[in-house]
A = this chain, B = another copy of it.
């Protein structure tokens, strides 16, 4: 069951999909250059970033003081990671040179002993590793490692990897179970998953062991966060919700008990999914059944009881956190873009371990809904928070909506989600395919070209179609030499009657955990043809979810749809979808060109005239009037200005 995954360098997967290709173009042409300007403080209307200046000061190349958050360094390494994956998709010598220069800057900022963190080097020298609960040193290290692996895999260049390894080696001397070492672990997980990535490309066993140390030490009593808190004299860093709350609230950081005793998705949602990504990775690579069981428990709780239909997780703004089972409010949702990216990462690792389509189903749901929805169609505006329902005039006045924005915001207001969306979109090839020893799993049928090495032979294939809009997908093979291998084709949960043909014949194979496994000597000219009927599905939530009682949502393929005021008028809460409605597809116009819209005949409870009573006793006033309903893919909402939006709508019996 713990089949080995073959790590494919990303430059062997190229996105050719027009839909995702446009997103990659936006990352390349708009997001990466804009972020570069921001890192250089060259955007007049933006808050200064100072992130590159911090490195220059640490490197002794510039005078000045540290400026920014305790995790400011990670803005640079996330940018480097996005650049790396982007270069893997399309070469750009000038951009690569810029990145090389940044990498040299990092090298110069790195301390003799391998330490690399500008907050501590510049602002608080001598206080290194005194507050791992709150101060993101290990988190920043993790993003450096991820960038290093990406840059190596995309370009073959080892310079950043060497910087990362020097720092990892240093951390490995500081943390550990031995006399004189700190038995700490990060407040914000990230280094665990990054160490596993570093292990995959370097095969340095110490990195895997250090990841395991962090994961196994977490939550042991006495709590390390309390120990270091006492040691530094009871000081703390974050003040938002009261004194030393981040030290005290152990569940917020998933350090309230050892991971093998945890069984619920709690606390800060992003930290949870990052943590579980690392845990699932090591569980597979070390065939550790106890860790695997923890992953399964947390996954099941998270996905089967605490996930929005959009693949969003984290139901509340306070603590950007999970709440309780089946508590999924549409309007006060947090559902941070980064949390869905982390959910994709967690799903990817579970999929590698389990070869089960349920993980791909969730990965796809998170990607095509919340993650894509996190960025505007112009590539210039972003959502942190992704509500499933919003009414702008109310969010302006009721403070329970303070975290909700009616439209996406310009980049500079926020430094976390936009670069995360950027690196995910350019690395999306990672998620389409899962190359395991037992089979090459094809998870998401986005247009792409890929080459995999199978026992020394090269398997080359191309996916064509217009996913996720059209039902037809073809997979054609380009390798002249036949390769004997199993292809595992995902049969999506949303598809009732998929059909698969190989070279015009009905495919012969077994369905295992939601994948059709086809074994064959694949060679040039072979063609798999999939038909994935995209019936318009009415989705119902489990009746334990009280926010969706009596309501229905619309989904086609992996895309969740919504109503917007622009098409349907205001007061969307008064619209009804009849139980027996017939749907028709429409082509989007203007900014929605290329998107498939859905129309049907529904009904509206008319908004009464201005003076009408607030309460009345007359049931006849609730009579419904016919109205055409127009649904758009939810990821594309708020691209036509401010207005109401709603996913879950009233069902008319």
- Contacts A316-B398, A543-B571, A546-B574 supplied; 5 other A-B pairs, CB < 8 Å: A304-B613, A317-B399, A326-B614, A327-B398, A544-B607
**Interface digits, A391-428 against B, CB 8 Å rule (1 contact, 0 not)?**
10110111110100000000000000000000000000
Q: List 23 A-B contacts (CB under 8 A).
A: A305-B614, A307-B614, A317-B399, A317-B400, A318-B400, A318-B402, A323-B394, A327-B398, A540-B617, A540-B619, A540-B621, A542-B614, A543-B571, A543-B574, A543-B605, A544-B607, A544-B608, A545-B614, A546-B574, A549-B650, A579-B619, A622-B651, A653-B653
Kindly state the separation between the CA atoms of A329 and B399 in the bound complex, as whole angstroms: 12
Shortest CB–CB separation between residue A251 and chain B, in angstroms? 11
Q: Residues of A at under 8 Å CB distance from B? A: 303-305, 307, 309, 315-319, 323-324, 326-327, 329, 332, 391, 393-394, 396-400, 402, 494, 537-546, 549-550, 571, 573-574, 579, 605-608, 611-619, 621-622, 650-653
Known: A545-B614, A614-B307. A622 touches B540 (CB 8 A): yes
For A553, the closest partner residue in chain B by CB is B615
A546-B327 contact in complex given A305-B614, A614-B304, C-beta closer than 8 Å: no
Q: Which residues of B contact A616 (CB under 8 A)?
A: 539-540, 542
Given A614-B305, A617-B538, A618-B540, residue A653 in contact with residue B652 (CB < 8 A)? yes
Q: Check if B323 sits within 8 Å of A605, measured CB to CB.
A: no
**Copy total for this chain:** 2
Asked if B400 contacts A316 (CB within 8 A), the reply is yes
Pair B650/A542 contact, Cβ less than 8 Å = no
**Contact for A324 among B324, B396, B494, B541, CB less than 8 A:** B396
- The distance in angstroms between the C-alpha atoms of A617 and B571, with both chains bound, is 26
Taking the closest CB of chain B, its distance from the CB of A227, in whole angstroms, is 28
Contact A332 B650 (CB under 8 A): no
Nearest B residue (CB) for A303: B614
A538 nearest in chain B by CB position: B619
- A397 surroundings in chain B (CB, below 8 A): 323-324, 327
Instruction: Write out the residue numbers on chain B whose beta carbons fall within 8 Å of the beta carbon of A550.
Output: 550, 650
How far is A494 from B317 in the complex, measured between Cα atoms in Å? Answer: 41
Known contacts A613-B542, A618-B540: A605-B549 contact under CB 8 Å: yes
Complex formed: what's the CA distance from A315 to B329 in Å? 17
Measured CB to CB, the closest approach of chain B to A364, in angstroms, equals 14
Contact of A544 among B571, B650, B652 (CB under 8 A): B571
Give the docked Cα–Cα distance between A323 and B396 (Å).
Answer: 9
Min CB distance A615 to B, Å, is 5
Contact assessment for B615 and A540 in the assembled complex, using a CB-CB cutoff below 8 Å: yes
Smallest CB separation, A404 vs chain B (Å): 12
Question: Chain B residues near A622 (CB, 8 Å)?
Answer: 540, 543, 651
What is the distance, in angstroms, from A314's C-beta to the closest C-beta of chain B? 11
Q: What's the least CB distance linking A313 to chain B, in Å?
A: 12
Q: Which residue of B lies closest to A573 (CB)?
A: B546
Beta-carbon contact of A319 and B546 below 8 Å: no
Contact in complex: A617, B400 (CB < 8 Å): no
Q: Whole-angstrom distance from the CB of A599 to the nearest CB of chain B?
A: 20
In angstroms, how far is the closest chain B Cβ from the Cβ of A357? 14
A304–B616 Cα distance when bound, in Å, is 11
Q: Which of B399, B542, B546, B605 sits near A391, CB closer than 8 Å? A: B546
Q: Are the C-beta atoms of B619 and A542 separated by less than 8 Å? A: no
- Rounded to whole Å, the gap between the CB of A213 and the closest CB of chain B is 31
Name the B residues within 8 Å of A494 (CB-CB): 617
Closest chain B CB from A576 CB (angstroms): 8
Nearest chain B CB to A254 CB, angstrom units: 15
9 pairs of A and B residues whose beta carbons are closest in the complex: A318-B399, A546-B573, A324-B397, A323-B398, A549-B573, A323-B397, A653-B653, A537-B617, A327-B394
* A608 cross-chain contacts in B, Cβ below 8 A: 542-544
Which chain B positions have C-beta within 8 A of A309? 615
